[in-house]
Chain A
Amino acid sequence: MVLFMAHRTALYDAHLAAGGKMVDFGGWDMPINYGSQIEEHHAVRQNAGVFDVSHMTVVDIAGAGAGARDYLRQLLANDVDRIDSGRALYTGMLNDNGGVIDDLIVYKQDNGYRLVVNCATRETDLDWMEKQAGGFAVDIHERPELAMLAIQGPKAREILAGLLSGARAEAVSSLKIFAFAQDGDWMIARTGYTGEDGVEIMLPNADAVTLWGQLLAAGVAPIGLGARDTLRLEAGLNLYGNDMDNTITPWEANMGWTVMLNDREFIGRQPLLNQQENGHAEQVGLILEGKGVLRAHQKVLMPNGEEGEITSGTFSPTLGKSIALARLPAGATGKVDVEIRNKRQVAQVVKPPFVRNGEVVYKEL
């Protein structure tokens, strides 16, 4: 008999101590909230919150000479040559049909690259990366011993910098957006998944437990996966498996800006060129005009009879209304109907993000 044991991050006991309600998330025991998901959401928009994102998969890519660079220029839809050392880039890793195997952030280090990919897609990603490595002088090395914390919110960097010293405090205070710094075993990046200012830190497990305690003592709120989802959705950021998967191309998932079409060959390039010529569905935002909650997989009906589908929907604590990301036929504007429990409700088509840096920023289409 094999007993399934969920993975636990180094902060598991800290989550319980903070009142975390634990749920299974991609094989990990993670906190869905620590009481009120809506209060956690507001804490990040208005002050500062800390997320344990140690379940994310960290992979280092090293290679002699130009091995790692050449490999990643073929593997990823964005071009790592666009960034210098100390900078990060968001991109999709595509299959031969141009479908998104995963979305990830790649960090260019002095002697190689680091990738942070999703936990639910870990095995698929690693298999694909190994398979594509043939012919390149690269070493693909997972870093499961690292924890990862995201500290996000308008006060996040100020509070965090006050808890650190030396190069780490300096990095938190002065890093530019999508830049990162390394100091010993720590890597501090000014990135996030909330639409607020903040940083993400990869660090040894023991350090993560200490820092978590210091942050909570300094008034930073612990934030669960529930608020992580409403925050990212308000920010118009995709969730892999909901808003895109291996049957959806970057063009169809509002990720066109992450595709670098230049003279290099990369996996999925030709299907993307074909689709660009033949047309494709588009991802837009929706705001429900009445009461109720938009949810993934609800059908969207356009005035001309065409149909689309909601890919992620929720109640937006900042707007006080329901919002969604939806995949609709190209050129959707104005009002559409959404089928909620067999009733049609009116929604406005908008251009995400809905909220950035605490401000409501969507534009009606």
Chain B
Amino acid sequence: MSEIPAELRYAASHEWAKVEDGVATVGISDHAQDAMGDLVYVELPEVGQVVAAGDETGVVESVKAASDIYSPVSGEIVEINEALEDEPELVNNVPYEGGWLFKVQLTDEGELDNLLTADQYQAQIDSE
């Protein structure tokens, strides 16, 4: 069973978002990292890049496959997790902590309502 923290919001495409002071930290779910297998490369967006919810903002690559990352929210990229350049396995080991991908300064906090709750995300996984 994969871990799905109750306090986070989730995109159907398996990203999570955690909002503090108008900034969303974004990563991929435990379920997603487990399905990908050992990650060996993470391509992140650039700081300053303006993105809309659903925009492609990076790629995570495991030994077996590459998977696009989509921003679950709109706004400006204000920080990226540079540690992943040398340690992509952080995403496997601590997907909700040290394995975060990037942070977005939100343009509209109301967008969070479009994302799934932990229960809804669990239901989606169960139906896959």
Minimal beta-carbon separation of B58 from chain A (angstroms):
11
Minimal beta-carbon separation of A63 from chain B (angstroms):
42
A341 CB–B CB distance under 8 Å: yes
B66 touching A33, Cβ below 8 Å: no
**Residue in A37, A291, A292, A341 whose CB lies within 8 Å of B63:** A37
Query: Chain A interface mostly helix, strand, loop or mixed?
Result: mixed
Task: Give residues of chain B (15-46) contacting chain A, Cβ–Cβ below 8 Å.
Answer: 37-38, 40-41, 43
Q: Which residue of B lies closest to A36 (CB)?
A: B38
A291 touching B41, Cβ below 8 Å: yes
A314 touching B43, Cβ below 8 Å: no
Q: How large is the interface on A (under 10, 10 to 19, 20 to 34, 35 or more residues)?
A: 10 to 19
A33 touching B43, Cβ below 8 Å: no
Q: How large is the interface on B (under 10, 10 to 19, 20 to 34, 35 or more residues)?
A: 10 to 19
B59 touching A315, Cβ below 8 Å: no
Name the residue among A226, A315, A341 with the largest chain B CB count within 10 angstroms: A315
Query: Chain B interface mostly helix, strand, loop or mixed?
Result: strand
Complex contacts, B61 vs chain A, CB 8 Å: 292-293, 315
Task: Give residues of chain B (85-101) contacting chain A, Cβ–Cβ below 8 Å.
Answer: 85
Complex contacts, A37 vs chain B, CB 8 Å: 37-38, 63-64
* A293-B38 in contact given A38-B63, A226-B63, A341-B59 (Cβ < 8 Å): no
- Bound complex: CA of A292 vs CA of B38, how far in Å? 14
Complex contacts, B40 vs chain A, CB 8 Å: 38, 293, 315, 322
User: A227-263: contact bitstring with B at CB < 8 Å (1 yes, 0 no)?
Assistant: 0011000000000000000000000000000000000
**Residue in A226, A292, A293, A295 whose CB lies within 8 Å of B37:** A226
A72 CB–B CB distance under 8 Å: no
